[in-house]
Chain A
Amino acid sequence: MNFRFTEDEEIFAKSVRDFLTRESTPKHVRQWEQDPVGFSRETMKKMADMGWFGVCLPEKLGGLGLPFDYLTILFHQLGHFIPHGPIWETVVSGLVLLHAKPSKHRDELLSRMARGEAICTLTLHPSTPDKKSAILHFVPYAAGSDYIVTPQNKGGRQRVGVVPAQSVAAGLAPVPVTSGERMYHVSLPSRSTRTGMAFPISRPAFETAMDMGRILAAAFLLGISERALEIAVQYAGERVQFGRPIGSFQAVQHLVADIKVKTEGLRLLVYEASSAVTQGGAARRLASMAKFWANSTAYTATKNAHQVLGGFGVMAETDLQLFYRRAKGWMINKGGEADMLDRVAETLP
C-alpha cells in the first residue's frame, strides 16, 4: 500500500500545472467560450509538444510510454484549469485505437495524434442510423477537429470509424450547451459516399478503452471539485457578514466539509480504478463507480461552493460559474449516473 504519489508522478503533475497556469487561465477559458471554433489549435499543439496526446502510447509511435496513472494525473490537473478543446476526445480516441487490431494505418494515425497533427473528437451518444445517413448527436468540437471517431457496433462486430471532419463540414449543426463547449449534431453522408477508415476492435477491448476514458473523465471532475473547494474555502475565510468571516459559521463550515469528504473519497476511488488499469486488471466496476461518484461529487462541490459564494458566485464575471457549468457538461456527456450505476450493478458479486 502507498497512498502517496511517487516523485516522478509529482514532477509530472507539476509540469502540467505550470503549463496550465500560463496557458489556461480563466481569461483564456472565457475567450474560448466566445471563440467560433471553441478552442485554440495552437494551445493543443503545445500540449502535444508536452507529450499529452501520447502519454500511454509506445515510444516508437512518438508516445511517452508511461503507465496509465500518468494520464489520470494529467486529467486530474486539467480539471483544475478546464481548458477547452477535444483533449479528452483525442486521448480517448488514441486509447481506443491502441486497443484496436494493429495495422500500419492505425500506427500512422496514432503517431500523428501523438504529434498533435490528428486532433480527434469522439461520438459517445448513440447515432440514429438509417440506410442512407446517420446523425451523430452532441459531438464536441466537431469543427476544428481533424477526425470524428465513431465507435460502431454492427451485428455484434465492433469497429472504430475514423471520418475526416472536413468531409462532413456541411453537415454540422451547432448546439449551444450549458458547459460553453462547442457542441454539434453531425449528419454523416451515406455510407457509399463516406470517406474515412474503419478499424476492427474486439468488444472487450473497446470496453476496456472506454473504462479508461471514464476514469479520466472522473479525474477531470475530481480536479473541478477540488478547485470548487479551494474557491469556497478562500471566500468563506474572507467574506465578512454579521461582523465575522462567514467561514466561522457552522452552517457554512458544514457545506464546505461535505465537499471535502466527497472529494477525498473520489480522489481515492479514481486512483484505485486507475491503479487497477495500470496493473492490467479488470476495472469495469471501479471505473463505473469512479465516474458515478465523480458526477455526484462535482454536483455537491459546485452546488455547495455556489451556496457559500452567494450572489457573488452567480455573476458571469466570477470564475466559479465556469467550473459549475463545465462540470454539468462532463457529468452528462461522459457517463451519466443511471448508466454508470447499471454497469456497477452488473459486476457486483
Chain B
Amino acid sequence: MDFSFTPEQEALRKRIEGFCEKHLGRSKRKVESLPSEGSDGYDRAFHLAMAEAGLLSLGWPREYGGAGLGRVAMAVFSEVVGLYEAPVGAVGTSVGLVGQSLFMYGTDEQKKMLLPRIARGEIVCALGITEPNAGSDAASVQMKAVKDGDVYRISGSKIFVSSGHIADYILTLTRTDPAAPKHKGLSLFLVDTKLPGFKASRIKTMSGWVVSELHYEDVPAPESMMVGGLNQGWLCLTKSLGEERTGLGGTRNMKRLMEEMVHYARTHKRNGRKVWDDDTVRRAVAEFATRLEIARLLYYQAAWLQENKHPFDLPASISKLFTSELYHQCADVGGGVLGPEAQMESSSQTAPLRGKIEYLYKHCPASTIGGGTSQIQRNIIATRGLGLPTGKVG
C-alpha cells in the first residue's frame, strides 16, 4: 500500500493553505474563536472568494466551471479547511449534494441554468429530504406533489435542512404517486425558494448552530424542474447521495483541537502538577490521536476507492460512523484536559481554547445523527457490507 500524496495533491494542499491564510488572516496554529451564536457556517464573502480562487467546485468537470479533480483532492480540501476552521457551510449541500444530483440526473437545461451559478458561488442550493415523520425511515415522505396543468403543486414540511434558510433552490423529495410502494412513488423537484407558498424558518440547535424548517403550501414547481424523471426520485437520490457519502467522514477541525489540547496540557498545571503528567489525561489524548489517525485513513481510503472506481459503499459507511463517534470522544478528552473550565461557553473571555470544547459538548450529538445515524450505518455495514440477512419490518 502507498499512503503518500502525489506532487499535484501536495501542491493543492499548499494552495488551499495559502488561500486560508490570506482570507482568514489566521494561522492554523493559533487558537481562534468559533462561529458566533446563530451561525450556519456560511460566510458569503468567503464562499465567493473560494469560487473566485477555483476552490469551490474542485471535483466538478471543467465544462461546468470545476477543476476536474478527483475525490482524494477533495478530501485534501476538506482536511485543510478543517485545520483552519474555515466557514465552509453550504459547500457540502450546494456543490456536493445538489451539484452531484444535477450532474447525474439533471436535464441539459437544468445543468446550464444552475451549475455555473453554483460554481461561481452566486447561488446556494440545499437538499430537502427529512420530514417530521420521515427521519431514519427517509422514504416515508409525506410531502405531496400533485400535477396541476404545467406545474406540480407541492405541499408539506421538511425539517433539519442544512442551509435551507439561505438557499435559492431546494432539491425537494416529494410523493407523486401515493398508491405506489413507499420507495417507488417519489420524485425530485428543484424548487425556487422565491415561489409563492414557500416559507423557510430557522431552527436553532442547542449549540447555536442553525438549520432550517421548510413549509410548502401549494408551491407551483414547473414540470421542467423535475430531476431524474417521474417516480424515480428515490433511486436517483440514493445513487447521487451514494456518490457524496465519502464526504461525510471528514474530521473537520479535530486535528487542530488535538494539537491545541496537547499544547494546553503541556503548558498548564492543575492540582500542583502539569496536566500532561496525569496518566489518565495523557493516555486519553494519545488514544484520541490514534483514533484520529484512523479516521483520516478511513476517509482517504473511501475517497481513493471512489476515485479509482472500486466499490466504496461499505468503506464510506465505516468512515462516517467512526468519525462521527469520534466527535463525542474529542469532547470527552477535551473535558479531561481542561478540567472544570471545559464547561465555559465561548462568550466567556477566560474560556480555555475559546470555549471550543464546550461548543463540541453541544454540537457532537448531532454528528452521530445527521447524514444517517450510527445505528443506520451499523445496519448498512452488517447487511450490505457483511451479508447478514435484513430484519426489515414492513
Cβ distance A14 to chain B, nearest Cβ, rounded Å: 17
- Are A338 and B279 also in contact (CB < 8 A) when A261-B318, A275-B3, A293-B290 are? yes
Tell me how many residues of A have a C-beta within 8 Å of chain B. 44
B180 contacts which chain A residues (CB < 8 A)? none
B386 contacts which chain A residues (CB < 8 A)? 229, 233, 256-257, 260
Residue B389 is within 8 A (CB to CB) of chain A in the complex: yes
B112-155 interface (Cβ within 8 A of A): none
Closest to B380 in A: A257
Are B385 and A260 neighbours in the complex by a CB distance under 8 Å?
Answer: yes
Are B391 and A257 neighbours in the complex by a CB distance under 8 Å?
Answer: no
The contact string, 1 if C-beta is below 8 Å from chain B, for chain A 242-279, is 00110111101110111011001110110110011000
- The one of A2, A247, A252, A268 in contact with B2, judged by C-beta atoms closer than 8 angstroms, is A2
Contact residues of A: prevailing secondary structure: helix
The contact string, 1 if C-beta is below 8 Å from chain A, for chain B 293-307, is 110011011001100
Are A272 and B297 neighbours in the complex by a CB distance under 8 Å?
Answer: yes
Residue A206 is within 8 A (CB to CB) of chain B in the complex: no
Once bound together, how far apart are the Cα atoms of A264 and B291, in whole Å?
12
Are B297 and A268 neighbours in the complex by a CB distance under 8 Å?
Answer: yes
B236-281 interface (Cβ within 8 A of A): 258-259, 262, 276, 279
Once bound together, how far apart are the Cα atoms of A286 and B301, in whole Å?
17
Are A237 and B388 neighbours in the complex by a CB distance under 8 Å?
Answer: yes
Are B1 and A3 neighbours in the complex by a CB distance under 8 Å?
Answer: yes
Once bound together, how far apart are the Cα atoms of A236 and B387, in whole Å?
10
Once bound together, how far apart are the Cα atoms of A253 and B2, in whole Å?
32
Residue B349 is within 8 A (CB to CB) of chain A in the complex: no
A264 contacts which chain B residues (CB < 8 A)? 298, 315, 318
Cβ distance B249 to chain A, nearest Cβ, rounded Å: 12
B258 contacts which chain A residues (CB < 8 A)? 348
The contact string, 1 if C-beta is below 8 Å from chain A, for chain B 185-202, is 000000000000000000
Residue A57 is within 8 A (CB to CB) of chain B in the complex: no
Residue B205 is within 8 A (CB to CB) of chain A in the complex: no
Residue A345 is within 8 A (CB to CB) of chain B in the complex: yes
Instruction: Write the residues of chain A forming the contact surface with B, with a CB cutoff of 8 angstroms.
Output: 1-5, 69, 229, 233, 236-237, 244-245, 247-250, 252-254, 256-258, 260-261, 264-266, 268-269, 271-272, 275-276, 286, 289, 292-293, 338, 341-342, 344-345, 348-349
Which 6 pairs between the two chains have the least Cβ-Cβ distance? A253-B382, A265-B294, A247-B388, A248-B391, A268-B297, A344-B286
9 contacts between A and B (CB under 8 A): A247-B388, A254-B379, A256-B388, A257-B378, A260-B382, A265-B298, A265-B318, A292-B286, A341-B283
